[in-house]
Chain A
Amino acid sequence: MNKFRLLKENISCLRINIKLPFLIFYLFLFLFSLSACVSHLKEAKYYYTQGQRFSRLYQTEDAIASYKSALREAELEVKKNPSAQGYMLKGMAELNLELWEQAEKSFLNAFSYGFEKGEEWAQQLSLFGLASSLEALGLGDTALKIYFYLLNKSKLRAVTVSAAQKYTDGILKRALQKKAEEKQKLLVAAFKVIEKLTNKDLSCGFYHYLQSQIYSHLSDYQKSFEEALMAKELGLPTLEIFRDNDLQIVFCYQQLKEKLSVEKWDKFLYQYKKWVKRWGWKNPVTPGWKKEAKHAPIN
């Protein structure tokens, strides 16, 4: 009897011993999959926040890399566990990577999962896409109206900035084809629009860059210089815009040299030299990145 009981206990012990590793394995698997689900969303949020931080510092390459990681994590998240939050994050990452069509779909998906603003955001992206298509088809005036609407109404920063850029480009292009008086009117109107945006978001270097470009068309080189300086100090989104802005500073310097009175010029030059030193330029007309010997300007 005792033998039988012992045998029974041994067998049940063996069963427990066999079951236990399986149980632990399944428990680990469950915990791992649970943590993986949580971590995709968490990681997506982390990378997106990083991207925003880099964007604010105008470290474009780092920002793009972070948004791409955020997008990858958000994609994994919505695949496993579709939700309003997951789709919204996915859409925001796509928006910052200028993947307009994908972002529009993601916001619509977010809306279908209960994110109320998703539909409105998707509509704004749809409008932006429509304006780009109209522009490509040669219907520039209609496109310009849509960009104007978006830069006034959109609450998505990426859309507002892109619309401001397209709008300014369009107006400047038209201004070049007009006669003096009409040109002036167009430029002043465009300036007011961008100034309004700058007042709303004073730390956006790109808006200052656009203002500087408009002032340049208005031949107000002092103000163009000041705006370009602000843009340089606040940071610009791409290397080519950064370089173009530097060349705008040099251009203003050269124009002011010719146009200012001796007294005003001396005052300006004193300040300008301080900036040149701060930026580490080779001389007043050669930014650090520019070749000196071959392409040095005459004056």
Chain B
Amino acid sequence: MGKSSLEKVVEKGISFLSKIFPLKTYLYFPLLYASFIWAIKRVKEWKEEIFSLKVWLDPDRIEMKPDEFILNFFETNPALNKTYEAEIKKKDLVSLRKNFFRLYPIIGLEDPFLSALFYEELKSGDFEKIVKEFEERVSQAEKDIEAFNGKLKLLEGLKSFANEMISLNLDLFSQDKVQDIFAGLIKKSLMNNDE
């Protein structure tokens, strides 16, 4: 069976990124997915969006949320409620606040880059792993992207990838569905490359 247009575009995106980050396959999904989402929003400032990675709220603003807001965030999300049942029951705001700091940008504000970076953990509901590895993985991603010298080339590549995706009318699907489609295709493509 021949490959769909979507598969071809994703493969092209991966092939482009594999030349830039040959050993950093973990970056492919977050970068491609975030580029697509930013393109839908018609964000013109690609450079700021991709290289600053400061798409989540200022840490100060997250730190100073009132206790009730934090408690509500954990209580009203079924998966979080289950994981943090004990803390919610005890109203352990010290622990909840610490976890909120890492989870709110991903689950609350649904930042495209971060939600793709922690896609597997979100799927399996392993929030504790996200909290534990958040700082390390985000700063590693920042360093890896920052270390690449030909930023303009990367931007142009991601831009043309996102535009090709939009031409396939993928923006008509919900973001949730698009993320799953992306994850599946990228995984498949990477596995084929390994073989």
Interfacial residues, chain A to chain B (CB-CB below 8 A): 61-62, 64-65, 169, 172-173, 176, 216-217, 219, 239-241, 243-244, 247-248, 251, 254-255, 285, 289-299
Chain B interface residue bracket vs A: 20 to 34
B44→A61 contact, CB < 8 A: yes
B68→A219 contact, CB < 8 A: yes
| B135 contacts partner chain A, Cβ-Cβ < 8 Å | no
B76→A297 contact, CB < 8 A: yes
Q: A295 to chain B: closest CB distance in Å?
A: 5
| B139 contacts partner chain A, Cβ-Cβ < 8 Å | no
Q: How many angstroms from the CA of A294 to the CA of B115 in the assembled complex?
A: 13
Residue of B nearest to A246 (CB): B109
CB-contact partner of B55 in A240, A254, A293, A297, under 8 A: A240
| B77 contacts partner chain A, Cβ-Cβ < 8 Å | yes
Give the number of residue pairs across the A-B interface with Cβ within 8 Å. 77
Residue of A nearest to B69 (CB): A251
Interfacial residues, chain B to chain A (CB-CB below 8 A): 41-45, 48, 55-58, 60-61, 63-64, 66, 68-69, 72, 75-79, 81, 105, 107-111, 122, 174-176
Residue of A nearest to B48 (CB): A64
Known: A65-B44, A239-B41. A291 touches B175 (CB 8 A): yes
Residue of B nearest to A173 (CB): B64
Q: How many angstroms from the CA of A292 to the CA of B77 in the assembled complex?
A: 11
What is the interface of chain A mostly: helix, strand, loop, or mixed? helix
B56→A240 contact, CB < 8 A: yes
Q: A130 to chain B: closest CB distance in Å?
A: 18
A169→B58 contact, CB < 8 A: yes
* CB-defined contacts of A62 to chain B, threshold 8 Å: 44
B56→A289 contact, CB < 8 A: no
CB-contact partner of B79 in A65, A173, A294, under 8 A: A294
B45→A65 contact, CB < 8 A: yes
Known: A172-B64, A216-B66, A239-B41. A298 touches B55 (CB 8 A): no
Q: A182 to chain B: closest CB distance in Å?
A: 16
A254→B77 contact, CB < 8 A: no
Q: How many angstroms from the CA of A241 to the CA of B105 in the assembled complex?
A: 11
Q: A149 to chain B: closest CB distance in Å?
A: 20
* CB-defined contacts of A65 to chain B, threshold 8 Å: 44-45
* CB-defined contacts of B69 to chain A, threshold 8 Å: 216, 248, 251
Q: How many angstroms from the CA of A112 to the CA of B53 in the assembled complex?
A: 38
Q: How many angstroms from the CA of A251 to the CA of B73 in the assembled complex?
A: 8
Q: A2 to chain B: closest CB distance in Å?
A: 71
**Beyond known contacts A176-B64, A299-B76: 20 more, CB 8 A cutoff:** A61-B44, A61-B45, A62-B44, A64-B44, A169-B60, A169-B61, A216-B66, A216-B69, A239-B55, A240-B55, A240-B109, A240-B111, A243-B110, A251-B69, A251-B72, A291-B175, A291-B176, A295-B77, A296-B78, A297-B78
